[in-house]
Amino acid sequence: MTDKKHSKASPPIGAMPEGEARDTRGRRIRYDGDPEHLVRGTTDADRADPHPLYVVWEITLRCDLGCKHCGSRAGKARSHEMSTEECLEVVRQLAEMRVREVTLIGGEAYLREDWDVIARAITDAGMVCGMTTGARNLDADRVRRAVDAGLRSISVSIDGLEMTHDAQRGARGSFRAALEAAERVAASPIILAANTQINRLSMPEMPSLAELLVEIGARAWQIQITVPMGRGADRPDLILQPHDLLELFPLLVYIKQEILEPGGVQLFPGNNIGYFGPYEHLLRYGAHLGAHWGGCAAGKWCLGLEADGKIKGCPSLPSADWTGGYADKEPIAKVVAETRELRYLSERTRDDLWGFCRDCYYGDICKGGCTWTTECIVGKPGNNPYCIHRALELEKQGKRERLVKVEAAPGVPFDRGRFEIVEEPMPELAPDEAPTVLGLPLAHITGLGTSATTAWSDEAIARALDER
Ligand code: SF4
Ligand code: SF4
């Protein structure tokens, strides 16, 4: 924190740089590496008067993939989804609330006929519009419509090398389709970004994915740990164990420094990759300017909307517990200002923490990390086992933690099961043991390259995706 000008910088709450050129509507985009210049970065003025800057909006639950880790169990449209007119009214309200950026998601956003009408309204209202997509059918016509609508960025989801990705996405050919779509986007005026879920299958393939993103011209890469929500909750062998973070974090630093930075790809660790300790300044976006993890942004800096109008503080939060109201029935700003579901998270204090987090040195600022992640694992926020500081502290004591599933998810969109955190002794390593990542030799995974199709055997993939 040596630069006084930026000493109060808080972390950006999202993942897209504003770029260095012009957007698809010809407006100048300037990005100089300063998190305060991100659309979603917070300024002194924002901090004096906090309000949602960033909205993730599921405009339909319809999807053309069947991802095995999908938190919303997407596939069919919801029984009621907002009409075009209702969506345009939502856009008007978001602009009035001084929202700066809206990301359209699904399901698959482009399967809604009016997706580009909504996108166009967002950009016409002065907000930045982006889209996150599985891109199985993001054909040339849809990319053209996105350009016409003024989309600034499209983030393509890539969850592993070809076989690994296709197995998780539930559709053979989805990896090739996503790559071709990504190349289409990269060749358009829209900024190409990518996003990846980190789980037991994708983690050893992260170096190869990083190389691939450099090759296809991606500008930004948002990564997050797969959370056991929705279909992900049905597959406990897919998710990482808390002690796997001890291998993940050094691997991410290697990827960032050796592959992404030289290749011009900006890494944006998602909100469940943290917190503090020796990796914060190496991985947090904007850390070189004093930014650090500042606690869950739900309801304060960001909002999530579902296709049937549900308003949540964050799109990922379990709907049953965190819906404050419906956008087609009541003013969004009123729901944000007045409901417990939207206000609680930004008002949370150390007193709301429990377990390991309760006595953590960083608890006052961190407040237990990502609410969504914690709630989906242990059933309530405030005691987050996915934390590198925690894993390192336990390692010093010769201990580690493991998650054991004790309750199944009911099987509805954005649902969760429950896991218990089991503490156990850290196994001894043989002194001459070569470094591994999830049991695979490090030298093997860093040498996989971009033409490999998986780091795993068919049996290992099937085991990780087994429903239990
Ligand atoms: S132990 Fe909990 S409060 Fe402490 S840094 Fe980790 S997640 Fe945050
Ligand atoms: S619940 Fe997690 S992902 Fe959502 S805003 Fe909070 S920290 Fe971010």
Q: Which of 330, 346, 362 is the last residue of a domain?
A: 346
- Reduced to 3 states (helix: H, G, I; strand: E, B; else coil), residue 325 is strand
The answer to whether residue 270 is domain-embedded is yes
CA of residue 22 to ligand 1 center, whole Å: 40
pLDDT at 30 over 80: no
The answer to whether residue 465 is domain-embedded is no
Q: Are residues 302 and 378 in the same domain?
A: no
In this structure, the residue with its CA closest to atom 4 of ligand 2 is 314
40: pLDDT confidence band, cut at 50, 70 and 90?
low
Best residue among 284, 317, 376 to mutate for probing ligand 2's pocket (most ligand atoms within 8 Å of CB) is 317
Q: What integer pLDDT is reported at residue 31 of this predicted model?
A: 44
| Alpha helix ranges (H) inside 125-244 | 140-149, 162-169, 174-186, 206-216
Q: Are residues 251 and 151 in the same domain?
A: yes
Q: Which of 346, 376, 405 is the last residue of a domain?
A: 346
Q: Is 384 in the pocket of ligand 1 (CB under 6 A)?
A: yes
Ramachandran quadrant class, 146 (left: phi over 0; alpha: psi -120 to 50; beta: rest): alpha
Between CA 315 and CA 68, with CA 221 as vertex, the angle to 5 degrees is 55
DSSP letter for 98, please: T
Dihedral angle sign, alpha carbons of residues 275, 271, 413, 332: positive
Q: Is 376 in the pocket of ligand 2 (CB under 6 A)?
A: no
Q: What integer pLDDT is reported at residue 432 of this predicted model?
A: 78
Q: Is 42 in the pocket of ligand 2 (CB under 6 A)?
A: no
In this structure, the residue with its CA closest to atom 3 of ligand 2 is 271
Q: Which of 296, 323, 346 is the last residue of a domain?
A: 346
pLDDT at 27 over 50: no
Q: Is 348 in the pocket of ligand 1 (CB under 6 A)?
A: no
CA of residue 296 to ligand 2 center, whole Å: 5
The answer to whether residue 468 is domain-embedded is no
pLDDT at 36 over 70: no
**Nearest atom within ligand 2 for CA of residue 13:** 8
Q: What integer pLDDT is reported at residue 468 of this predicted model?
A: 86
The answer to whether residue 438 is domain-embedded is no
Dihedral angle sign, alpha carbons of residues 396, 397, 402, 407: negative
Q: What integer pLDDT is reported at residue 37 of this predicted model?
A: 54
The answer to whether residue 182 is domain-embedded is yes
Q: Are residues 189 and 237 in the same domain?
A: yes
Q: Which residue has the higher pLDDT, 295 or 289?
A: 295
Mean pLDDT of 139-149: 98
pLDDT at 119 over 90: yes
Q: Is 372 in the pocket of ligand 2 (CB under 6 A)?
A: yes
Exposure string (b/e) for 79-96, b if CB count within 10 Å is 16 or more?
Answer: eebbeeeebbbbbeebbe
Q: Are residues 298 and 177 in the same domain?
A: yes
Q: Which two tokens stand for residue 396?
A: 């010093």
Q: How far apart are CA 447 and CA 200, in angstroms?
A: 18
Q: Are residues 244 and 372 in the same domain?
A: no
Q: Are residues 70 and 113 in the same domain?
A: yes
pLDDT at 10 over 90: no
Closest ligand to the CA of 401: 1
Q: What integer pLDDT is reported at residue 72 of this predicted model?
A: 84
In this structure, the residue with its CA closest to atom 1 of ligand 1 is 357
Q: How far apart are CA 369 and CA 391, in angstroms?
A: 14
Long-range contacts of 33-38 (CB under 8 A, 24+ apart): 33/289, 34/6, 34/9, 34/286, 34/289, 35/6, 35/9, 35/10, 35/11, 35/285, 35/286, 35/289, 35/291, 36/6, 36/9, 38/12, 38/14
Q: Are residues 248 and 165 in the same domain?
A: yes
| Alpha helix ranges (H) inside 397-451 | 442-446
Q: What integer pLDDT is reported at residue 430 of this predicted model?
A: 77
- Reduced to 3 states (helix: H, G, I; strand: E, B; else coil), residue 437 is strand
Short-list 378, 319, 324, CA closest to 72: 319
Q: Is 389 in the pocket of ligand 1 (CB under 6 A)?
A: yes
The answer to whether residue 454 is domain-embedded is no
Which residue range is the domain that position 231 belongs to? 35-346
pLDDT at 26 over 70: no
CATH number of the domain at 278, please: 3.20.20.70
The answer to whether residue 415 is domain-embedded is yes
Least confident of 51-55, 77-81, 383-387, 426-430: 426-430
Q: What integer pLDDT is reported at residue 4 of this predicted model?
A: 35
Averaged pLDDT score across all residues of the chain: 90
Q: How far apart are CA 388 and CA 162, in angstroms?
A: 29
In this structure, the residue with its CA closest to atom 2 of ligand 2 is 370
Number of domains observed in the structure of the chain:
2
Q: Is 362 in the pocket of ligand 1 (CB under 6 A)?
A: yes
Q: Are residues 250 and 332 in the same domain?
A: yes
CA of residue 371 to ligand 2 center, whole Å: 6
Q: What integer pLDDT is reported at residue 43 of this predicted model?
A: 74
pLDDT at 188 over 50: yes
Q: Which residue has the higher pLDDT, 244 or 35?
A: 244
Q: What integer pLDDT is reported at residue 29 of this predicted model?
A: 43
Q: What integer pLDDT is reported at residue 1 of this predicted model?
A: 33
Mean pLDDT of 292-299: 91
Q: Are residues 152 and 272 in the same domain?
A: yes
Instruction: Please tell me whether the peptide bond between 107 and the residue prior to it is cis, using omega within 30 degrees of 0.
Output: yes
Q: Are residues 117 and 157 in the same domain?
A: yes
- Reduced to 3 states (helix: H, G, I; strand: E, B; else coil), residue 207 is helix
20: pLDDT confidence band, cut at 50, 70 and 90?
very low
Instruction: Please tell me whether the peptide bond between 110 and the residue prior to it is cis, using omega within 30 degrees of 0.
Output: no
**Nearest atom within ligand 2 for CA of residue 295:** 7
CA of residue 96 to ligand 1 center, whole Å: 35
Q: What is the pLDDT of residues 366-387, one digit of tens each?
A: 999 999 999 999 999 999 999 9
pLDDT over 70 percentage in the chain: 91
Q: What is the pLDDT of residues 398-445, one digit of tens each?
A: 999 999 999 999 999 889 999 999 999 999 877 778 889 999 999 999
Q: What is the pLDDT of residues 240-257, one digit of tens each?
A: 999 999 999 999 999 999
Closest ligand to the CA of 385: 1
Q: What is the pLDDT of residues 133-143, one digit of tens each?
A: 999 999 999 99
Q: Are residues 330 and 250 in the same domain?
A: yes
Q: Are residues 341 and 418 in the same domain?
A: no
Q: Is 342 in the pocket of ligand 2 (CB under 6 A)?
A: no
Q: Is 302 in the pocket of ligand 2 (CB under 6 A)?
A: yes
Q: Is 298 in the pocket of ligand 2 (CB under 6 A)?
A: yes
Q: What is the pLDDT of residues 164-177, one digit of tens each?
A: 999 999 899 999 99
Per the CB < 8 A criterion, the answer to whether 195 and 221 are in contact is yes
CA of residue 385 to ligand 1 center, whole Å: 8
CA of residue 199 to ligand 2 center, whole Å: 18
Per the CB < 8 A criterion, the answer to whether 149 and 119 are in contact is yes
The answer to whether residue 10 is domain-embedded is no
Short-list 246, 279, 294, 285, CA closest to 265: 285
Q: What is the pLDDT of residues 321-365, one digit of tens each?
A: 999 999 999 999 999 999 999 998 778 889 999 999 999 999 999
